[in-house]
């Protein structure tokens, strides 16, 4: 049984899914969109240009890393790659959202703001993904237009010259806290990866851990974090560096002490943006009908935008497009919190007080969203 992973080495979300497939022990072949089958079969089935896409041995074509992992977890029960205890499971889902969504602007900033310092590398990466059978020079030339397209996303993500210092200052704190954690623990929640680890691989591998400029920064400032990105692409769970650690999650639904500092950064840095996204979404969704595509123009978009938001961030005013996809992922975390029984909820409330998460978990989107036909729609 062999799966086909349609993606690319430099793709943010392909890094997330590839790591999951490796740790799950599933056989797969990786193919890039330059393969003729992508344009003939995959693109029409998905409905818009996006990677990764997973093609199953049964011929199913699946898109969105969360949906794909859900599908594969239902098909393959072992190894277990997410905790069953309520607080750890919620924290895992939270880090999935953080890595997939919150860190996305940082990943794009370090790729495109420093484009001139890593242009040859990026040209080679985009070129091999887009075209096959051409010379090195032709590939680099053909990559330029696609690179300009992705670099144009920066304003919508809030990346401007006046926001760079704040973004990089915040990221420095993340590098330090994550490096400290991975000094003592192989994965976020202990001895085996969870959904949160795969979500964090989205931004921290292909962009921040592989592009020359941010990879150099990570190696200099957070070598233990860089080692984690390597570990996440190694088959098996154990790493000889942590001999005797074991392959279990932290006992009794607890958090490793070093993860508390990382969780505090999550809510320090993400809460203002979440508040702004909820306010924007609530205003936009108030008079919309069930089934409406969550997009300002009603267009099919992987990362839709329903209007501008602004909020304070590390001494500046952050201005960007709204992020309903991030809000959709965070809403799933809220659902898990609301489903806890009284004892579980009290334990989680104690954790929230420690890490400053009460405000974020008091947010209330007025409408639900769901993925349908590979886009977000109102329920």
pLDDT digits (tens, 9 = 90+) for 362-378: 999 999 999 998 899 99
364 and 284 in a common domain? yes
> Which pLDDT belongs to residue 171?
98
Element (H, E) at 376: strand 375-378
Nearest to 20 by CA among 7, 39, 32: 7
Residue 134 clears pLDDT 90, i.e. is over it: no
193 and 122 in a common domain? no
- φ/ψ of 54, rounded to 5, equals -110, 130
Torsion on CA atoms 322, 89, 12, 148, rounded to nearest 10: 0
> Which pLDDT belongs to residue 135?
83
pLDDT digits (tens, 9 = 90+) for 31-43: 999 999 999 999 9
CATH of the domain at 63: 3.40.30.10
Residue 113 clears pLDDT 90, i.e. is over it: yes
104 and 9 in a common domain? no
319 and 221 in a common domain? yes
> Which pLDDT belongs to residue 215?
98
Containing domain of residue 341, as a range? Answer: 86-109+159-378
Kindly state whether residue 299 falls inside one of the protein's structural domains.
yes
Q: Is 130 exposed, middle or buried (0-12, 13-18, 19+ CB in 10 A)?
A: middle
102 and 139 in a common domain? no
Going from the C-alpha of 288 to that of each of 292, 293, 309, 368, 377, the distances in angstroms are 7, 10, 19, 12, 10
252 and 146 in a common domain? no
247 and 184 in a common domain? yes
Kindly state whether residue 308 falls inside one of the protein's structural domains.
yes
Question: From the CB of residue 307, how many other CB atoms can be counted at a distance below 10 Å?
Answer: 13
pLDDT digits (tens, 9 = 90+) for 323-363: 999 999 999 999 999 999 999 999 999 999 999 999 999 99
CA angle 10, 50, 159 (to 5 degrees): 65
Residue 271: pLDDT band with limits 50, 70, 90: very high
Residue 112 clears pLDDT 80, i.e. is over it: yes
Whole-model pTM over 0.85: yes
Kindly state whether residue 273 falls inside one of the protein's structural domains.
yes
Q: What is the mean pLDDT of residues 152-174?
A: 98
Kindly state whether residue 81 falls inside one of the protein's structural domains.
no
Kindly state whether residue 213 falls inside one of the protein's structural domains.
yes
Residue 303: pLDDT band with limits 50, 70, 90: confident
Structural domains in the chain (count): 3
């Amino acid at each position: 049984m062999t799966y086909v992973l349609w993606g690319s080495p430099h793709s943010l979300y392909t890094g997330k899914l590839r790591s999951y497939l490796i740790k799950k022990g599933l056989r797969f072949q990786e193919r890039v969109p330059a393969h003729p089958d992508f344009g003939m079969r995959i693109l029409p089935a998905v409905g818009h240009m996006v990677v990764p896409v997973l093609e199953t041995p049964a011929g199913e074509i699946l898109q969105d890393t969360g949906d794909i992992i859900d599908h594969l977890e239902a098909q393959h029960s072992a190894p277990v790659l997410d905790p069953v205890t309520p607080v750890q499971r919620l924290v895992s889902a939270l880090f999935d959202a953080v890595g997939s969504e919150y860190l996305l602007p940082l990943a794009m900033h370090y790729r495109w703001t420093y484009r001139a310092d890593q242009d040859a590398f990026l040209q080679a990466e985009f070129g091999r993904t887009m075209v096959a059978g051409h010379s090195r020079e032709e590939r680099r030339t053909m990559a330029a237009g696609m690179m300009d397209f992705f670099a144009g996303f920066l304003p919508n993500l809030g990346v401007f010259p006046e926001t760079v210092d704040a973004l990089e200052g915040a990221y420095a704190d993340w590098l330090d806290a994550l490096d400290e954690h991975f000094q003592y623990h192989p994965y976020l929640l202990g001895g085996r990866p969870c959904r949160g680890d795969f979500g964090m691989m989205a931004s921290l591998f292909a962009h921040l851990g592989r592009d020359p400029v941010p990879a150099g920064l990570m190696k200099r400032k957070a070598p233990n974090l860089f080692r984690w990105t390597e570990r996440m692409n190694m088959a098996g769970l154990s790493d000889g560096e942590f001999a005797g650690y074991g392959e279990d999650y932290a006992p009794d639904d607890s958090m490793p002490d070093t993860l508390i500092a990382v969780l505090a950064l999550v809510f320090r840095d993400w809460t203002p943006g979440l508040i702004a996204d909820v306010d924007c979404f609530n205003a936009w969704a108030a008079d919309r009908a069930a089934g409406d595509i969550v997009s300002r123009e009603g267009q099919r978009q992987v990362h839709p935008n329903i209007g501008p938001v602004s909020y304070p961030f590390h001494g500046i005013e952050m201005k960007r497009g709204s992020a309903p996809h991030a809000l959709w992922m965070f809403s799933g975390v809220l659902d898990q919190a609301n489903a806890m029984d009284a004892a579980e909820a009290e334990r989680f409330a104690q954790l929230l007080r420690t890490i400053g998460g009460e405000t974020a978990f008091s947010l209330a989107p007025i409408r639900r969203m769901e993925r349908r036909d590979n886009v977000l729609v109102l329920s």
